[in-house]
A and B are shown apart, each in its own frame.
Chain A
Amino acid sequence: MSHDATPPRLPPKPIIGLERLAGVCLVAFGLFAYYASSELPFFTQGGVGSGLLPRSLSVLVTLMGIIQIVVTWNEPQETTGRWPIRDMLPVLLGIFLFAVTIRGFDFGAFKVPVLGMAVATPLAIFCSGLAAKDVRVGELAIFSVVLSAICIALFRYALGLSMPVAPWAIGY
């Protein structure tokens, strides 16, 4: 759904290639897990130690990564394409804002008070909604308020989840 009508260009030459990159990621994950579990004992006197499974699995994952790199080495490689981090940022921020406002959060330097669902939910909806390319800010603002009211009614009152609603206004 691109808007530009330029003639199709040759795809950019991959630096490492999708399939090989997948292998590299597996190796990295395996090695990291091995490091994380390296202190755990393999066997104990009673039998299986807490390190047996994590460490053997991380070796296997690393091995799979190496196999993946080897078997795809000579295949024609594709790029992974665009990583639209900027498009995803509002959603991540929305999730983050929900997390820090719902029950308050202590950053050390400053503290976010407990703002409850009444603030956290509309914030999350509005902020993440900004990620849409066809966003209409007015519509989104109204929608976030209406949906939040529905959410509070549904989850707090109808379903009885114990979540702070708006402690600063109604005390819970």
Chain B
Amino acid sequence: MIDMFQNLGLGLSVALTLNNVFFCFIGCLIGTLVGVLPGVGPVATISILLPVTLALDPTGALIMLAGIYYGAQYGGSTTAILVNIPGEATAVVTALDGHEMAKKGQAGLALGLAAIGSFIAGTIATIVIAAIGVPMTRLGLLFGPAEYFSLMVMGLVFAVVLAHGSLVKAVAMILAGVLLSCVGADMETGRERMTFGLHMLSDGIEFVVLAMGIFGFAEIFKNLADPEKRDVVRTSIGRLLPTMRELRENVGAILRGTGIGSILGVLPGNGAILGPFASYAMEKRISKRPQDFGTGVPQAVAGPESANNAGAQTSFIPLLTLGLPPNAVMALMVGAMMIQGIVPGPQVIERNPDLFWGLIASMWIGNLMLVIINLPMIGLWVKLLQVPYRLLFPSIVAFCCIGLFSISNEPAQVMLAGLLGLVGFALWKLRFEAAPLALGFVLGRLLEEKLRQALIISDGSMLTFVTSPLSAFLLAIGAVALLIAVLPTIRRSRDEVFKDA
């Protein structure tokens, strides 16, 4: 316990240097900006900025990128409440009751509760990370290749279980993602695989190219095909700060949301995205007037928003302690660490304690900044929402092109991302989800590496995955999760959680 506060103290001393406060602020500001603007997500933004971080010191770079991620969660709720478009995937739930509140002239209250809830959630999640960071790292050090392999398999199974819609399609997307990660030179023999002699593929498909294609460009194609109606709230925003009574009424929802979000966020396979849905379902279940949900209930904003922010932060835990990215943004963070010569994994906490604790402490500072950035400056963000889409998407195209080109000064990467944008559009048309594909792609290479190492150690025996108790345990959890998801009754209730929203 005392250790934890000492560590947080070290973190604060790193995060509070002028430089790092500045990067934290820049990150939060950019994050809010891209969160507010529908159609630009944190994935695309971090991809664009990845080459830029090369010039920064590692701690500052990661603090900034993390700020973009959780800042986008804050910004996303603003758009959800005021325009009824989730600026960010996890703000879908917030739009339901948040926008209804805005129509009733309570936009300020909704925004205020979202911000206060997020801040409380962020504070608690920071402490959670600090508290379980060290034990998780110790656990990570016990992991050999076989255990890592099984852990990743379990993570991918969770990604299937947690995905919306068809299980078959989600499994197919994950497999396709891993398959795509195999493209390029074999890491052991250097032999080219599935490159068709194309020079640009011999290093494999860049993750940033894939992400910008299927998330960035595809999003633009989607919006052009199916123009969204923007109904920006014209009524006044109203007062931002809730009264003591309103705060009392919502503090339960905020704390429950924080709990749910924190737990789900740690799950490998992007559990963070499930947090808001689960919190909404829970608030509805325990509410005395569940029939009011959907007509502007404050608890339906406060709970999911807190869950959302808590999950965004605790999803750093698998990355920082085990080196496993649970979602696409964390995969980009792996990229950012690698650029700086830091190999993510349990050894980071020992070798780079400044970075580890500094990053964690900066999240709390960032959350504080976000309240300030979001509430008093709300008018500015509303103005920004009035930028017409006809000017917004060409700007996104330009930013993406510049970002793509800057990866390796290679024009072919830009073209490949354009083609992948078409693929992403087709996936959307065929109702495939792109997120499991990206996750499979991210974990694919690591998966193959660990598989090989494990089989070398075991002299080629596949039994190594079940004879190691830890590995067998992880695989068993995955198998149980998959079984449960296939059971018809559970499937139905899972669909209900998403349908409610």
Contacts and interface: CB of A to CB of B under 8 A. Distances in A.
Contacts of B405: 98-99, 102-103, 163
Interface in A52-105: 53-54, 57-58, 60-61, 64-65, 67-68, 71, 80-84, 87-88, 91-92, 94-96, 98-100, 102-103, 105
Task: List 10 A-B pairs, minimum CB-CB distance, nearest first.
Answer: A132-B390, A129-B394, A64-B172, A50-B186, A95-B418, A99-B414, A99-B411, A36-B194, A22-B430, A98-B401
A21 B430 contact: yes
Nearest to B399: A151
Given A129-B394, A151-B398, A40 B176 contact: no
Interface stretch (B106-114, B220-228, B328-336): B220-228
Contacts of A6: none
A81 B430 CA distance: 10
A128 B191 contact: no
A124 interface: yes
Interface of A: 1, 18-19, 21-22, 25-26, 29, 33, 36-37, 40, 44, 46-48, 50-51, 53-54, 57-58, 60-61, 64-65, 67-68, 71, 80-84, 87-88, 91-92, 94-96, 98-100, 102-103, 105, 117, 120-121, 124-126, 128-129, 131-136, 139-140, 143-144, 147-148, 151, 155, 159-163
B412 A163 contact: no
B180 to A, nearest CB: 9
A129 B390 contact: yes
Contact of A95 (B417, B430, B460): B417
- Chain B's interface size range is 35 or more
* Most chain B CB atoms below 10 A, which of A22, A44, A103, A121: A22
B389 A95 contact: no
Classify the secondary structure of A's interface with B.
Answer: helix
Interface of B: 51-52, 55, 166, 168-169, 171-172, 175-176, 178-179, 182, 186, 188-189, 191, 193-194, 196, 217, 220-221, 224-225, 227, 229, 388-391, 393-395, 397-399, 401-402, 405-406, 409, 411-412, 414-415, 417-418, 421-422, 425-426, 429-432, 447-448, 451-452, 455-456, 460
Nearest to B411: A99
Identify which of B171, B390, B398, B425 gathers the most chain A CB atoms within 10 Å of its CB.
B398
Contacts of B391: 129, 139-140, 143
B394 A126 contact: yes
B452 A48 contact: yes
Nearest to A152: B402
Given A1-B229, A37-B182, A105-B411, A128 B51 contact: no
